[in-house]
Each structure stands twice: as C-alpha cells, then as structure tokens.
Amino acid sequence: MSQTKISAPHFPLQTSLPNGHNFRGKIGVFDSGVGGLTVLKALLPRLPEADFIYVGDTARLPYGSKSQATIARYAVSSARFLVDQGAEFLVIACNTASALAIDDIRDAAPVPVLGVIETGAAEAHATSATGDVLVIATDATVQSHAYANACAALGLRGIEKACPLLVPLVEEGWIDHPVTSEVLDIYLAELFAQADAAGLRPDTLVLGCTHYPLLRGPIERALKAHAHRGQIRVIDSAEATARHVAAALPVGTGTEFPAAGRATMRFYATDSVTKFRSLGTRFLGQPIEDVSLVDLGG
Ligand code: DGL
C-alpha cells in the first residue's frame, strides 16, 4: 500500500468558515458507505437548522482495504460532488478517507474540510489521564498511522490495531451476536498485548471507524475482561466531530440542545438505494425515506 502524502494533522483545529461568509447552512457529509451516518446522527441535534447533503460511496466500499491513491481518487470525486450540490462545509465522516485523503480533498474542495482523525485525537487528549491511547480502525487507517501521528502531535502515545472483520459484521447486523463478541475479544486481547509490549498504560480506546459506534455496547462489555487494568473510556469520534463542526459554523449555538426536527437531509448513494435505506436507518437511528442514486465514476 502506498503511504505517500500522509501529512501531519493540523492542531489546533482551525477549520472554520471565513469571517463574513454568508453561510446558507449547507453541510456536506461524506463516507464510503453508511458509517458516516453515525456522524450525521451526532450533528443533527447540534445543528437543527442546517441542510445536510450526505453521500455514501457504497459502490466503491470498502475503502479500508484499498491503496492511498485509490482512496484519494474516490474521496475527491465524492467531495467534488458534494460541493457541486452546494455544500459550503465538508465533514469527512470516514476515518479511512480522513487518514489517507484529507490533503487531496482540501486541495480539491474550495470549502472548509473537517476530518474525523483530528477530532478523535483531540477528544482522546481531553479524556486520557495516562496519555496512552488505544485505537481500533480499518487496515488502511492503521497502516497510515494517522491516529498515532495525531496522538503524538498532542503528546499522547497511540497504539493502533486493524480490525477488518468489524465493518462486515456491523453491515450484517450482527451487533449482539456471539461471533462478534468473540472477534472483539480476540482483537482487544491482541491490542492489549501490543500495549503491554510497548510498556503503555492505556485508559482510552478510540473508535477509529465510523461503523464502530454501533458496536459501542459490545466493545464496552468486551473491555470488562480487562477491568483489572482500570477503567478504559471509549471515545466516539462522531460526537467529537459534531461538536467541532457546530463550533466552526455560524449557525445554532454550538452547544447541545434537543433536536428541533427542522434540519433537512438529502441522501445520495453510489449503489443500491434500497440497501442504503434499510442499513442506513439503523445507523442514523431514524427512517431514511429518499435516497438518490449517483454515479461518481469508477
Ligand atoms: N467508514 C469507514 C471508516 O470510517 C470504514 C468503511 C470502509 O472500509 O470503507 O474508516
């Protein structure tokens, strides 16, 4: 896998609209599939007046097993599509695209772009007392070391673990399933062995893939086997990203408030709209009615 063009994260997070921008409330949210809907779900209560345009590049999913050049090409075409639809701010709600293509997207898109790696690392920084952080993510995200670099930029030590079986298990709907529990037990045991070998005392686990928030319950249960190490806090970068977006935009208050239900959402998928509707409803936590099919190329 090519590991070129991986840049250091930008801290402090300065992604925001320029002063004087007449913001019309159009926010583009992009993921390789439905996982980014966990970020949209977190955005809704914070930006109840926004117009969200979501694209899930389901035809080209998974990104997590592909090369940097391919991920960048796919992500840039998706980002351009969102800008063409009027998006004034882009949320890259995909860890893999954020890890491997954020600079390409920023070069291609004439609007502010926020990824989920920087926000996840910033949240880990705010949470961890020991400064030692565990990260689970896709293979491509782990190979890029984007999280380890983002953690290091904040003075944290990050240990990353690729968990390639988790995305298909979530897509299959096997959330509270014995196979998923077993897979999680194995991955976490290997991750803690890695941390032990490096002499780390982790107290924080970052969910470095937007599919993983659906597994938060099973992950927290699996962590109980490691309770003798002390409490491990689970960080969901969707929540952290939503807070950063709300703070960067001149709409809403930037604080948590109950959903007013006035946000509008438009959904685009590059593969079956029927599958996007049924799977996406589970990720968003509310029914998805209209999904348009879009062809973003090969
Ligand atoms: N949503 C992607 C992420 O956050 C994972 C799915 C994929 O491999 O495309 O990394």
DSSP string of 279-294, one letter each residue: HHHHHHTS----EEE-
Q: pLDDT value at position 23?
A: 76
8 A C-beta contact, residue 279 and residue 172: no
- Which of 41, 136, 167, 207 is the pocket-test mutation for ligand 1 (most atoms within 8 Å of CB)? 167
- CB of 38 within 6 A of ligand 1: the answer is no
How far apart are the CA of 102 and the centre of ligand 1, in A?
A: 14
Q: pLDDT value at position 21?
A: 63
- Joined together, the tokens standing for residue 185 give 């037990």
Helices (H) and strands (E) in the chain, counts: 11, 10
SS3 26: strand
Q: pLDDT value at position 252?
A: 46
Cis bond leading into 12, ω under 30°?
yes
> How far, in Å, CA of 156 to CA of 108, rounded?
31
Q: pLDDT value at position 15?
A: 59
- CB of 34 within 6 A of ligand 1: the answer is no
> How far, in Å, CA of 76 to CA of 298, rounded?
12
Q: pLDDT value at position 279?
A: 92
Q: pLDDT value at position 256?
A: 39
Q: pLDDT value at position 239?
A: 87
- CB of 211 within 6 A of ligand 1: the answer is yes
> pTM for this one?
0.89
- CB of 138 within 6 A of ligand 1: the answer is yes
pLDDT tens for the chain, 298 residues long, are: 444 344 545 544 455 666 666 678 899 999 999 999 999 999 999 888 899 999 999 999 999 899 999 999 999 999 999 999 999 999 999 999 999 999 999 999 999 999 999 999 999 999 999 999 999 999 999 999 999 999 999 999 999 999 999 999 998 889 999 999 999 999 999 999 999 999 999 999 999 999 999 999 999 999 999 888 889 999 988 888 998 888 887 654 443 334 445 689 999 999 999 999 999 999 999 999 899 999 998 7
Q: pLDDT value at position 236?
A: 87
- CB of 142 within 6 A of ligand 1: the answer is no
Q: pLDDT value at position 152?
A: 96
- Joined together, the tokens standing for residue 167 give 């995305």
How far apart are the CA of 237 and the centre of ligand 1, in A?
A: 13
Which of 94, 122, 263, 294 is the catalytic position? 94
Distance from chain centroid for Cα 106: 17
Cis bond leading into 9, ω under 30°?
no
Q: pLDDT value at position 10?
A: 55
Tell the residue nearest (CA) to atom 7 of ligand 1: 62
Q: pLDDT value at position 24?
A: 81
Q: pLDDT value at position 171?
A: 85
Which H/E stretch holds residue 127?
A: helix 116-127
Active site residue 151: no
